[in-house]
Amino acid sequence: MGTDRTGEPLRVGVLASGSGTNLQALLDTVHGEEALIVGVAADKPGAVALERARDAGIESAVFPLGEHPDRAARDSAIAQWLLERDVEVVVLAGYMALLTSPFLHRFPGAVLNIHPSLLPAFPGVRAIEQAIDYGVKIFGVTVHFVEDDGGIDTGPVILQGCIELANADDPATVHAQLRPLEHALLPEAVRLIARGALSRDPQNPRRVVVAQ
């Protein structure tokens, strides 16, 4: 962060578990422009994200947990695969497995996640269901850094967006209405990193400052 990046595009690796709509948003916006997606890894063989990668001519690989002794070993294998492709930033685009220290230590300050709530509210799984149960009227999306701090969805916030849904009661409907925010915010976060426009506030390292 905070380094002027001119010339070569940012080399990005993407982790995904499912349909890969956020991967597609990256492919449709920043790929080949500010960034270059050089590898897509999934934890599930049937992840549609893998098909999106293949259709775009991007290398892909599957790392099922059952093929490794434990999560740490699996994460180390994924990290090594990404490093072999000179990945600079890792984007979690609907990746549903928690990353362990062996992975995060290989990419310090360079792992992004997108979460369907306005963090720090409703971290973890079933965020939209949590928000509906709580009766919130404003739903949102957060792009944040993932750090090895022992928490879940606790890393510094990069970007947020929200919409008002006063009487929401169906998680699928809410998520469908949040997707345009996801598809706008995640590429924008990658653009900011590619431009070297993000830095940490020296007075508060949890606060990410965006250069104007």
- Output the pTM of the full model: 0.94
Whether 3 is covered by a domain: the verdict is no
Q: Residue 157 in 3-state DSSP? A: strand
Q: Residue 208 in 3-state DSSP? A: strand
Mean pLDDT of 98-122: 96
> φ, ψ for residue 76 (rounded to 5)?
-65, -40
Q: What tokens appear for 180 in the block?
A: 């345009």
Mean pLDDT of 145-153: 93
User: 113 is in which domain, residue-wise?
Assistant: 10-197
- What is the number of structural domains in the chain? 1
Whether 209 is covered by a domain: the verdict is no
Q: What is the CATH number of the domain that holds 148?
A: 3.40.50.170
Give yes or no: 115 in active site: yes
Of the residues 31, 68, 115, 175, which is catalytic? Answer: 115
State the average pLDDT for the chain.
Answer: 95
Tens-place pLDDT, residues 57-91: 999 999 999 999 999 999 999 999 999 999 999 99
